[in-house]
Amino acid sequence: MLIKFGFSTLRQNLRVRTHNSEQGRLFFPSSPCSLLAGSWLLACGLLFSTIDCLIFPATARAEQAVLGVVKSEENAAQWTEITSRLQLAGVAYCTISLPDVQSAADLGDRAVLFLPNVQAIAPTQAIALEDWMSHGGRVIASGPTGNMSPPGVRQLLGSLLGAYWGFPLTAPANLQPLRTNGRDWLRQAGKGGQISGGVVIPTGINSKPVAIWQSKENQAAVVTTDRSTVLGWFWGVNTVAPQEFDSAWLRAALSQYIQLPATATATEPAKNCNNIATADVAQGS
């Protein structure tokens, strides 16, 4: 089945985000191709001066899912190890420079944002994150997120993420996922032996520990809500956890929010999320 679209129509649909200039709100528009026949999707391609939309399985669209990964001053020294794990996870992603974030629009329009070991977050950036999440954004965070931030920011982050890093473990411990009903995604997460992590403290009634540190206290290692996942270790650090362990947990956490390919494949080098958005908007102008 072949459907023709006018070029001007496609340019309008391909805008990756819309911004309400009066309210300063970021919205997440639907895909340029409509959902047809249950699990089948339309994927669009340019052919000469017209656009042909062909029907592909839903998994073909899932492979295009993009994760926004925040780069900060604190994780810059770990960036090579972080990106190697992202490549191993086979998740297409783009990067966001934290110093450039002043509003929700600066966080991009990807469905999920990853904060790997981001410890210093300014008040303006925390408010931007709150605004971004209020429009449907989901967050995965690792390590002591925001622990170097002002008290008000730490309180806001604890509310947004549903948990916070309480304190480091006194010794490495095994991480044990909790097998509970409705959390099939945990089957993808593996065990990595002795991990140097920290205790994650839930902050709300919807905050659920889904993995614990195996010890006498069985303290929380991973806590989730319907819009966030907090990992209780420095993700992307070779001296903390193996690459395979980190990558498996990222894929597992992501699978709560977006559909991923059944198997991980190597991804291309990441681009800046906002540069991608700017290029797409320019093409549609």
* pTM given for the model: 0.75
Distance of CA 159 to the CA centre of its chain: 18
Contacts of 26 by beta carbon, 8 Å cutoff, 6+ apart = 17, 19, 104, 105, 107, 109, 131, 132, 135
- Per residue in 207-266, pLDDT (tens digit) is 999 999 998 889 999 999 999 999 999 999 999 999 999 999 999 999 999 887 766 665
What is the CATH architecture assignment of 65-254? Answer: 3-Layer(aba) Sandwich (3.40)
Of 132, 35, 110, 91, which is closest to residue 280 (Cα–Cα)? 110
pLDDT for position 281: 37
pLDDT digits (tens, 9 = 90+) for 115-139: 999 999 999 999 999 999 999 999 9
- Structural domain boundaries in the chain: 2-61, 65-254
Place of tokens 């080098």: 269
Low-confidence ranges of the chain (pLDDT < 50): 1-65, 277-285
